[in-house]
Amino acid sequence: MKNRYLVNEIAKFFDVTTDTIRYYDKLDIIKPDKNEENKYRYYSREDLISFSYVFLLKKLGLSLKHIEVLLNHNSLDTSISILNKRKEEIEETIKELNMVKDMIDDYNQSNINTYSNLDNINIDDNVFILYQEINEKHPFNLIIKQFEELELNKIPLFTFCFEKEVFLSVNFKNAMISKYNSKFAISIKTNKNDIVNKEKLRNFKVFNPNRCFVTTIKCHTNKDYSSYARLKDLLEENNLVVNGVVLYRAVSFRNNINDNHDYYEIYIPIE
């Protein structure tokens, strides 16, 4: 093994660029000795070992600031403290990634249910939805944050809320037109028993009817809302009486100018 190495030799040894090696020099993490005769910069055998340490610490995700401390101003106590802090950061990242994974599973299940429930009718006595209308007092980002605080890992979906009178209106097929007073909200569908901190429920409106007409529909945005009108026909045909706010949870969209359509989960409280 040699006793001294040029910049390009160190770079080749660790399969990195010479710019990377020079950058560590610039940050005073590992500095080479300069030969005043030929003006070349040389790294020692000890520097080679130090570089292996640097790339190991980098693999652990430590910042260059912490790497410089561990390499040049280190003690065992300092090392333990920095590594424990990094471990805490990783544990928090794992927690966040697991939350995202659960939300992906929840959203994917909504898409699967859309296929299986499309135009099917179900009467459910166990629907539990938390929602909050979007307004100046409850902006979108605040509602999302409040849902995150519940730690339910459910995907919040954009939701239309229709008062019973609006839903039963003869003009409901035009429900997406603002004059018919649909309200925008964000909602999650969950189980009541999954909510550990009941105090946080005060941030939301609760949709938990004794009986609920549940289905999924497809509509062509700004073209054909006839599927909305068919819902009322189905209710009348089955002698079902609406007795509260109706929720349309937007599951999927196709934003295509020639063939745009949306899928909605429909929740209608009934007597």
Convert the pLDDT of each residue in 253-269 to its tens digit.
766 666 677 889 999 99
- The total of other beta-carbon atoms located within 10 Å of residue 38's CB is 8
Of the candidates 269, 267, 251, the residue with the CA atom closest to the CA atom of residue 214: 267
Q: Are residues 55 and 125 part of one domain?
A: no
Shared-domain flag, residues 63 and 100:
no
The number of domains in the chain is 2
Q: What average pLDDT does range 128-140 have in this prediction?
A: 94
Q: Answer yes or no: pTM beyond 0.85.
A: no
**CB-based contact 230:143 (threshold 8 Å):** no
Average model confidence (pLDDT) for the chain?
88
pLDDT at position 216 over 80: yes
Domain-embedded: residue 212: yes
Domain containing residue 48: CATH number: 1.10.1660.10
* C-alpha pair distances (Å), 187 with each of 10, 181, 247, 250: 56, 18, 9, 10
Residues 50 and 110 in one domain: no
Task: Give me the sheet containing 4-5, strands edge to edge.
Answer: 4-5, 41-44, 33-34
Q: Is residue 81 part of a domain?
A: no
pLDDT at residue 228 tops 70? yes
Position 229 pLDDT exceeds 80: no
Span 247-254, average pLDDT = 85
